[in-house]
Amino acid sequence: AETVLITQQSHEELRKILDANKTAAPGQQRLVVISVSPQSSASLAARFQLTPTDTAKKLTAFFKKLGVHYVFDTAFSRNFSLLESQREFVRRFREQANSKQALPVLTSVCPGWICYAEKTHGNAIIPYISTARSPQQVMGSLVKDFFAQQQHVTPDKIYHVTVMPCYDKKLEASRPDFFSQEHQTRDVDCVITTGEVFKLLEEEGVSLSELEPAPLDSVYSSVSAQEPTSHRGGGSGGYLEHVFRHAAQELFGIHVDEVTYRPLRNKDFQEVTLESEGRVLLHFAAAYGFRNIQNLVQKLKRGRCPYHYVEVMACPAGCLNGGGQLKAPEMPGKELLQHVERLYSMVKTEAPESVPGVRELYGQWLHGEGSERAGGLLHTSYHAVEKASSGLSIRW
Ligand code: SF4
C-alpha cells in the first residue's frame, strides 16, 4: 500500500500532470496549485544561499516555468490551524471539571506522531489529540473549497501539490478523512518533499539562485503578498507558544510577552508554566522525538501526565529537521540545522488573528468562527488502527 502511495505522490507524478496539461484540449487542463511549507523554503534557502524572501520568489518562478498556475505558502493556512487550536484548548480547559479526557490537549499536526498514536495506543490516546487540521490539510480545504469557488471550477479540476519537510505528510494527505466522496478528489493530491523539489531543479538543470524572482501569489486575492510571513515559536509552527499566550490572556487575563522554556531531561523535552501567587495556572510542554513521546504516553496512560497541553513532534528538533529536508554533504548535520533555523527565524512573524484576509475568510468562506462549516473544513477525527490491517509504516 505504501509503495502505491509513494509513486502516486512523487515529483514524477507532478511532472505527468504538467505534461498532460500541455497536450490537453482547451478546457480539459487541470489547474495546478503548489503550496510550499516554510520549513521547506528554509531548507532550500540554506542550500542555495538565499534569503527566505528570494527563495519564495525564485521558487514561484521555477514552478511557473514548469507550468504550475499558482504557488501558495502554507504559513497562510497555518493561521487557521493555530486559531482553531487556541479556541479548542480554551474550550477543553473550561470543560475539564466535567470531562476526564478534556486535558491534556496533544497537538495533531505531526502525522508521524498521529500514525503512532492510532496504531499503537488507539483509543487510550486518541481522545486527547487536538482535532484541528494541520496547515497542510487546512490548505487542502482552502484550495479545493474556497479557491475552487473563486476560480469557478469543481475541486477535481484542481491538482493540488504540497511541498513538505517530511515523508509522513504523504500518509496524512492520503487519509480517507481528506477525500471528498462528492467530488472524488483529495484535498491534497500529491505531496513532494523538499528533496524532491531539489531533484526537479537538478533534472531541469536549474539553479534556484540564478532564476529571476516572480511575484508571490495569495490564496485570498484581495491581499497581495510582498514577502513570506511566519509565526513565532520555533520551526514546527509555534503551536505551544500561540496556544499558551492566548490561553493566558483568555482564561486568566494575563498578557505573556516572552515564553520561557525550561529544558527537562533533554533539549527536546521542555516545559513552560504560567504561575500566579505561587499557583501554577498553565503547564505546557514540548515533546519531540520518539523517546520523549513514549515517555509522555506512558505518563498519560498511568494518569500521571502533569500537562494541560503538549506540542508533540516525531522528529528530534522538529520539522526543520524532517526526513524530507536537504542534507549538505559538506556540512555536519547540527551546523546545517542551526543554519536552517536561523533562516527560518528571519521571516517576519505575525499574530494569526491579525493577518490580512484571515478575518475576512472566517466571515465569507466559513460563515463565522465556531460555525459548523468551520468545524467541517478545519477539523478532523482519528481512528484506532487494527495492527494487522495497517499498511502504514512509521519512520522514527
Ligand atoms: Fe514530519 Fe517530523 Fe514535522 Fe512530524 S516532526 S510533521 S514527522 S517533519
pLDDT in tens, 90-144: 999 999 989 988 999 999 999 999 999 999 999 999 999 999 999 999 999 999 9
CA–CA distance from 155 to each of 51, 134, 145, 147, 148 (Å)? 34, 20, 7, 9, 6
- Is the distance from CB of 272 to CB of 262 less than 8 angstroms? yes
Nearest CA, atom 1, ligand 1: 166
Q: Which of 81, 162, 163, 166 to mutate to test the pocket of ligand 1 (most atoms within 8 A of CB)?
A: 166
**pTM for the structure as a whole:** 0.95
Residue 172 C-alpha cell reads as: 496524512
Nearest CA-CA partner of 110 in 225, 235, 263 = 235
Q: Pinpoint the alpha helices (H) of the chain.
A: 2-8, 11-23, 38-48, 52-66, 74-95, 111-116, 135-141, 148-151, 168-173, 194-204, 239-252, 290-301, 333-345, 358-364, 372-378
- Please report the atom of ligand 1 found closest to the CA of residue 323: 8
DSSP-assigned letters across all residues of 311-353: EEESSTT-GGG-TTSPP-TTS-HHHHHHHHHHHHHTSEE--GG
Residue with cell 487541470: 30
Q: Tell me, in angstroms, the distance from the centre of ligand 1 to residue 352's CA.
A: 21
User: Residues lining ligand 1, judged by CB closer than 6 Å?
Assistant: 110-112, 165-166, 168, 236, 313-315, 318-319, 322
Query: Which residues are paired to 162 by β-bridges?
Result: 35, 191
Q: Which of 191, 268, 313, 344 to mutate to test the pocket of ligand 1 (most atoms within 8 A of CB)?
A: 313
CA–CA distance from 58 to each of 55, 215, 300 (Å)? 5, 9, 46
Q: Name residue 343's amino acid.
A: L
Nearest CA, atom 4, ligand 1: 110
Q: Tell me, in angstroms, the distance from the centre of ligand 1 to residue 240's CA.
A: 15
- Please report the atom of ligand 1 found closest to the CA of residue 321: 8
Q: Name residue 92's amino acid.
A: R
- Please report the atom of ligand 1 found closest to the CA of residue 113: 4
> Is the predicted ipTM greater than 0.95, yes or no?
yes
Q: Tell me, in angstroms, the distance from the centre of ligand 1 to residue 111's CA.
A: 7
Q: Tell me, in angstroms, the distance from the centre of ligand 1 to residue 317's CA.
A: 10
Nearest CA-CA partner of 239 in 129, 325, 154 = 129
- Is the distance from CB of 71 to CB of 63 less than 8 angstroms? yes
Q: Is the peptide bond before 52 cis (omega within 30 degrees of 0)?
A: no
Nearest CA-CA partner of 158 in 170, 169, 166, 150 = 150
CA–CA distance from 275 to each of 85, 106, 272, 279, 280 (Å)? 22, 21, 10, 5, 4
- Is the distance from CB of 190 to CB of 8 less than 8 angstroms? yes
Say what angle helices 52-66 and 38-48 make with each other, to 10 degrees. 100
Provide the pLDDT for residue 394. 43
Q: What is the pLDDT of residues 214-256, one digit of tens each?
A: 999 999 977 777 899 999 998 999 999 999 999 999 999 999 9
For 180, phi then psi, to 5°, come to -90, 115
Q: What is the pLDDT of residues 309-351, one digit of tens each?
A: 999 999 999 999 999 999 988 888 899 999 999 999 999 999 9
Q: What is the pLDDT of residues 170-229, one digit of tens each?
A: 999 999 999 999 999 999 999 999 999 999 999 999 999 999 999 999 999 777 778 999
Q: What is the pLDDT confidence band of residue 265, given thresholds at 50, 70 and 90?
A: confident
Residue 348 C-alpha cell reads as: 517576519
Q: Tell me, in angstroms, the distance from the centre of ligand 1 to residue 255's CA.
A: 30
Neighbouring C-beta atoms of residue 344, cutoff 10 Å? 21
Provide the pLDDT for residue 20. 96
- Please report the atom of ligand 1 found closest to the CA of residue 322: 8
